[in-house]
Amino acid sequence: MDIQTNLKEVVAELPENVRLVAVSKFHPAEAIEAAYAAGQRIFGESKEQELSGKYEKLPKDIEWHFIGHLQTNKVKYIAPYIAMIHAADSYKLLAEVNKQAAKYNRVIPCLLEIHIAQEESKYGFTFDTCREMLRAGEWKDLNHVCIAGVMGMATNTDDTAEIAKEFHSLKTFFDELKKDYFSDRPEFREISMGMSHDYLIAVKEGSTMVRVGSKIFGERIY
């Protein structure tokens, strides 16, 4: 498994306006160091304890993105350094991020996780619950949170038409939110969608950020 070669192949397929989050969860620090040596700086993790261990031992110019389901009681551990939270799936979580970020005088970018897949097991706002949360307006008082866009995961299927349809629905919803709630907020610009098996479809449908792991690092080793 040549991580650097794999990384270069993925990067070569992405337009300049699409950022790559190298999903390093369950892979050792050495794998991250190999990707770092090839120029990668954004890495995605989904477990607070694993992330904290890697943060301590790896270069401090790494931009760490939290991409998994985040429990409110874990926010305090990552608040000092996390660069972006991809899966804000409730107002309660946004409020907790705001509270913890304030302690460090930080503003933490967060993406609203939207449930677009067929699987019930996936987290996220529905289109309607997200509209309700934004309409309520409390989020505007969260001065230490920056709502920077949306994130979604497509159904785990070989049906590329279904995947494209789901990604298209997220892009359409992003456009709606931009018009209705964030037209005067240039920071609301990210659409995080697409993983190792479907990122090229996601890019065609308007993704600005893809989360690629196994295509770069191989299958998880622990």
Q: How confident is the model at residue 173, as a pLDDT?
A: 98
Residue boundaries of the structural domains of the chain = 3-217
E-assigned strand segments in the chain: 19-23, 42-45, 63-66, 84-88, 108-113, 145-151, 190-192, 209-212
Question: Using DSSP, how many helices (H) and how many strands (E) does the chain show?
Answer: 9, 8
Q: How confident is the model at residue 119 (pLDDT cuts 50, 70, 90)?
A: confident
Bridge partners for 65 per DSSP: 44, 84
| Other beta carbons within 10 Å of 139 | 18
Q: How confident is the model at residue 120 (pLDDT cuts 50, 70, 90)?
A: confident
Q: How confident is the model at residue 201 (pLDDT cuts 50, 70, 90)?
A: very high
pTM score of the predicted model: 0.95
In this structure, which CATH number among 3.30.465.10, 3.40.50.620, 3.20.20.10, 3.20.20.140 belongs to the domain 3-217?
A: 3.20.20.10
Mean predicted confidence (pLDDT) in 80-107: 98
Which residues does 183 contact at the CB level (< 8 Å), separation at least 6?
none
Give the whole-angstrom CA distance, residue 210 versus residue 170: 14
For 131-154, how does the pLDDT look when each residue is reduced to its tens digit (9 = 90+)? 999 999 999 999 999 999 999 999
In this predicted structure, the answer to whether residue 209 has a pLDDT above a threshold of 80 is yes
Q: How confident is the model at residue 1, as a pLDDT?
A: 65
Radius of gyration of the chain (CA): 17
Which residues does 102 contact at the CB level (< 8 Å), separation at least 6?
143, 144
Mean predicted confidence (pLDDT) in 173-187: 98
Give the whole-angstrom CA distance, residue 11 versus residue 180: 33
For 18-29, how does the pLDDT look when each residue is reduced to its tens digit (9 = 90+)? 999 999 999 999
Q: How confident is the model at residue 139, as a pLDDT?
A: 97
Look-up of token digits 């337009």: 15
Q: How confident is the model at residue 89, as a pLDDT?
A: 96
In this predicted structure, the answer to whether residue 30 has a pLDDT above a threshold of 80 is yes
- Interior angle at CA 107, CA 46 and CA 185, nearest 5: 105
Q: How confident is the model at residue 221 (pLDDT cuts 50, 70, 90)?
A: low
Give the whole-angstrom CA distance, residue 44 versus residue 161: 27
